[in-house]
């Protein structure tokens, strides 16, 4: 009788081990299929001014990341004409709970309006701090001031992005429009907004930095 009981228990243990072996990969597969949810928060450069939705920066970036094997979803929270202050006002509903990270692109409209660089500096930092308080990491993209605004203005404006990134330990992409500024073929007639081809170049150049940001999220 003891021998039969021992055999019965051995069968139970074997079945339990088999079931565990089946369920563990299944749980792992479920975890792997959960996408990384990013929000691109910005102005018209993020929104895709003058372009179809399929050609807007967040859509093109999501497509490029998926082509490299990343399981991501990028929400377009760009609003044309937004200053940094306007984006701060809508921050809570633009970046919902459950967001894994934010790509922040703001300040161009502050600069074009000639606002004191201290204003976007304070506001962008407030956005970063509020997102950090919600445990939402931020990747910051920088902007350069138009050189005709004068040396003092340029120095104060350009420096706000690396200063904030250094203070808060953020992944920084120094200049969002790198590679397309001044090239008429890559910008719309207004000379301020990228064409679909221009967006593709922006995405190609920013992609390694976004991958660094995603790697930082996986280490959390």
Round to whole Å and give the CA distance between 159 and 121. 9
Residue 193 designated active-site: yes
Tens digit of each residue's pLDDT (9 = 90 or more) over 34-86: 899 999 999 999 999 999 999 999 999 999 999 999 999 999 999 999 999 99
Tokens linked to 8: 């019965």
Among 85, 94, 158, 193, the one annotated catalytic: 193
Round to whole Å and give the CA distance between 84 and 88. 6
Among 43, 44, 85, 100, the one annotated catalytic: 44
Residue 85 designated active-site: no
Residue 133 designated active-site: no
Q: Nearest 5 degrees, angle CA 68-CA 72-CA 74?
A: 120
The label of the residue with tokens 């930095």 reads 209
User: Which of 133, 132, 131, 128 is closest to 164 using CA atoms?
Assistant: 128
Q: Which of 17-26, 138-147, 211-220 has the lowest mean pLDDT?
A: 17-26
- The confidence score (pLDDT) of residue 16 equals 45
Q: Residue 192: is its pLDDT beyond 90? A: yes
Round to whole Å and give the CA distance between 192 and 197. 14
Among 97, 135, 152, 190, the one annotated catalytic: 190
Round to whole Å and give the CA distance between 51 and 23. 46
């Amino acid at each position: 009788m003891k021998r039969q009981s021992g055999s019965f228990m051995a069968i139970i243990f074997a079945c339990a081990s088999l079931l565990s072996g089946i369920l563990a990969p299944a749980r792992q597969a479920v975890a792997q299929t959960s996408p990384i949810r990013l929000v691109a928060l910005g102005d018209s450069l993020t929104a895709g001014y003058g372009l179809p939705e399929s050609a807007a920066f967040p859509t093109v970036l999501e497509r490029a990341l998926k082509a490299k094997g990343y399981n991501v979803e990028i929400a377009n929270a760009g609003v044309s004409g937004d200053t940094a202050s306007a984006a701060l006002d809508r921050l809570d509903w633009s970046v919902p709970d459950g967001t894994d990270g934010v790509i922040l692109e703001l300040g161009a409209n502050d600069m074009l309006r000639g606002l004191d660089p201290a204003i976007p500096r304070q506001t962008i930092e407030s956005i970063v701090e509020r997102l950090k308080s919600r445990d939402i990491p931020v990747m910051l993209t920088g902007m350069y001031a138009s050189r005709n605004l004068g040396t003092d203005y340029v120095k104060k404006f350009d420096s706000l992005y690396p200063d904030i990134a250094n203070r808060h330990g953020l992944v920084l992409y120094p200049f969002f429009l790198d590679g397309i500024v001044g090239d008429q073929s890559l910008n719309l007639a207004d000379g301020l907004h990228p064409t679909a081809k221009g967006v593709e170049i922006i995405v190609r150049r920013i992609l390694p930095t976004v991958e660094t940001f995603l790697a930082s999220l996986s280490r959390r």
